[in-house]
Amino acid sequence: MSWLAFLICSWSVPASAANFEVTGDVAAQGYEVASPWGDVVVGRRRLTTTLGLAGYNLQGDAEPLGPDYSLRLRMRVDSDFGIAGAEEQYNARDARRFVPGLDHAPVDLMIGFVEGRRLGGGWFGFRLGRQYVTDVLGWWSFDGGMVRLTTPFFVAAEVYGGMEQRGGLPLSSERYAAQGVWRGSRSEIGPDGRNYPSFQDASPAPAFGFALETTGPNWIHGRFAYRRVYSTGPVLTGQFPTPGTTEFEEVEGLRLSTEKFGYGATAFLSEIGALRAGFAYDVYNDLINKAYGGLEFYPITNRLVLGADIDFFVPTFDADSIWNWFTHNPVTTLLGRASVRPLAGLDVSGSAGVRLWVAEGDPEGWALAECTAAGGGQAAIDTCLAMGTDPSAGSDGTFAREEDNRDATIAPDLLANLGAGYRWSNGNVGLSGVLQNGFGDVDSHRGRMVGGVLTARQALDGGTLWVGGRLSTTNWEDPLRPARDATSFGYVVAPEYWPAGFARMRVQWEHDMNRLVGQRFRVLGLVSLRVAP
């Protein structure tokens, strides 16, 4: 992508016609992390910097219905000076601390594209470079081109293709690729699999997709999307060499990574309510991995909103991932919500519902039934319950594969949120609370988490100086690990200084504490600039 950055930065147009904007953020933070398992204290010093450039009306004088050209570029450097050299640089004589793929100063191009709109009488548009796609299939990033056709018949079509952004490639991040593969550059440890065979070498990932969506009416919108991504290059298929050899088995060549399609729609009537629904289908896994629906009703316009939502999600993974071999079951969340504005500046909102976790087999009796099936009498069963089954015996695998033992079991969690906020001309205050509580005995109870947060912010000296703060407390319990139960307290003090409309400076002090990790501190400094000459 370096050629694209050079092209964008070298593009010049008359200054009198085009509009440019430069943005920058610098965030420096220092903190220490105390290990929950001992007295080891890990020091971290991080510096995160972003730089953005935007140009508008590159074609010259702007016309409301005429062609329009623009460019956008944003880069990021996320440096962690607390990373030791042994963690980043491989040394065969002392490889215990080495972390494959770790970089103390990763640089990534967040976006970098040239865009044209309303071309050919308003029918066509394009985008070339690194760009995001956001739709029912989720956030996704690729390097390539997109062409858009907008018709006068309330329908628009998009076709795009290029290379998926993947970690380990230049100026790239792994955050938008499918999950389940530990991927990066193996330049430090060599291409063979003897060192860290789980760490796969990143290779280009060709991708293409298309979308159809409605245009025109603002009260209704729908979008159908399809996307297919391929993997290239070799991938190791095992953790150990082939028996009798020193070579690792691998698969290489063009192969499927992900393939999905989905549809999302919303309808909105300003004085009545809104409706939304959508789904995404994973072709590789042959299942609907995401579905959602929501309904809103406005009984008192601008005062009261009532709503209900349902969300269904099944985790899916890159086709190269070992996680495809394991079962992955859905999580369904049902919520009812309400928000009310009784007074000007005062908002109160709340939600309550349930989250349903699905597992194969009954967790309350699985261990006993599995150990009983292994045989050996009561003494052997007691040992099995304490130490686990012996995989070499094969009885545990036989028990787990029997369909009668794999009936779906649902473990519910109660969810609740309540919040209130009040705003005035130069400040605000807010109070919120959250609860997530499981049900059942020690085998199916997922634990409890309850907490509350108080925030406040006030402007001084005519808005040049702002003072903000936060108080929080959280209690959590885990029946499977009662020794980890704890209550955490924390506070934040964050003054801000706005010397001009284009600049902001902030210092944040954070102090958190609980019985497991003792005292934790963090200091953060932030400078933001936004200049439009």
Tell me if 36 is assigned to some domain: no
Domain membership flag for residue 270: yes
* Pair (191, 288) in one structural domain: yes
Q: Are residues 297 and 376 in the same domain?
A: no
- Strand partners of residue 73: 53, 112
Does some domain include residue 246?
Answer: yes
Tens of pLDDT along the chain (533 residues) come to 444 444 444 444 444 478 999 999 999 999 887 665 556 677 789 999 999 999 999 988 888 888 999 999 999 999 998 887 888 888 877 778 888 888 889 999 999 999 999 999 999 999 999 999 999 999 999 999 999 999 999 999 999 999 999 988 989 998 899 999 998 888 778 666 678 888 888 899 999 999 999 998 989 999 999 999 999 988 888 888 888 887 888 888 999 999 999 999 999 988 899 999 999 999 999 999 999 999 999 998 889 999 999 999 999 999 999 999 888 899 999 999 999 999 999 999 999 999 999 888 776 677 788 888 877 788 888 888 787 776 666 666 677 777 777 777 888 999 999 999 999 999 999 999 999 999 876 666 788 999 999 999 999 988 899 999 999 999 999 887 888 899 999 999 999 999 988 899 999 999 999 998 888 899 999 999 999 87
The separation between CA 43 and the C-alpha centre of its own chain, rounded to angstroms, equals 26
Structure tokens at 171: 């100026």
Rounded CA-CA distance 127/143 in Å is 10
Residues 137/139/142/147 CA torsion (nearest 10 deg): 60
Look at the pTM and tell me if it is higher than 0.85.
Answer: yes
Sign of the alpha-carbon torsion through 163, 168, 170, 175? positive
Asked if residue 377 belongs to a domain, the reply is yes
Residue 34 confidence (pLDDT): 66
Radius of gyration (C-alpha) of the chain in whole angstroms: 27
What span, in angstroms and rounded, lies between the C-alpha atoms of 319 and 178? Answer: 9
Answer yes or no: do 174 and 293 share one domain. yes
- Element at 372 (helix H, strand E): helix 366-374
Predicted pLDDT of residue 96: 80
Of 420, 411, 426, 509, which Cα lies nearest the Cα of 462? 426
The answer to whether 438 touches 446, Cβ cutoff 8 Å, is: yes
Domain carrying residue 185: 120-302
Start-to-end C-alpha separation, the chain:
27
With a CB cutoff of 8 Å and minimum separation 6, the contacts of 449 are 434, 435, 436, 437, 474, 475, 476, 477
Q: Are residues 233 and 126 in the same domain?
A: yes
The count of structural domains within the chain is: 2
For residue 10, what pLDDT is reported? 44
**What is the Cβ-side half-sphere exposure of residue 457, based on CA atoms within 13 angstroms?**
17
Asked if residue 372 and residue 296 are part of one domain, the reply reads no
Q: Identify whether residues 375 and 280 lie together within a single domain.
A: no
Residues 242 and 163 in one domain: yes
Same domain, 257 and 384: no
Does some domain include residue 17? no
Residues 139 and 264 in one domain: yes
Last residue of a domain, one of 253, 272, 302: 302
- The confidence score (pLDDT) of residue 466 equals 95
Collapsing DSSP to helix, strand or coil, 447 comes out as: coil
∠ Cα 35 40 41 (to 5°)? 80
Query: Quick check: is 200 in a domain?
Result: yes
pLDDT value of residue 186: 82
State the pLDDT at residue 407: 78
Residues 162 and 280 in one domain: yes
- From 212, 121, 221, select the one nearest 159 (Cα to Cα): 212
Antiparallel, parallel or unpaired: β 41-56 and 19-34: antiparallel
- Verify that 293 and 383 share a domain, yes or no: no
Angle at CA of residue 502, ends 500 and 507, nearest 5°: 75
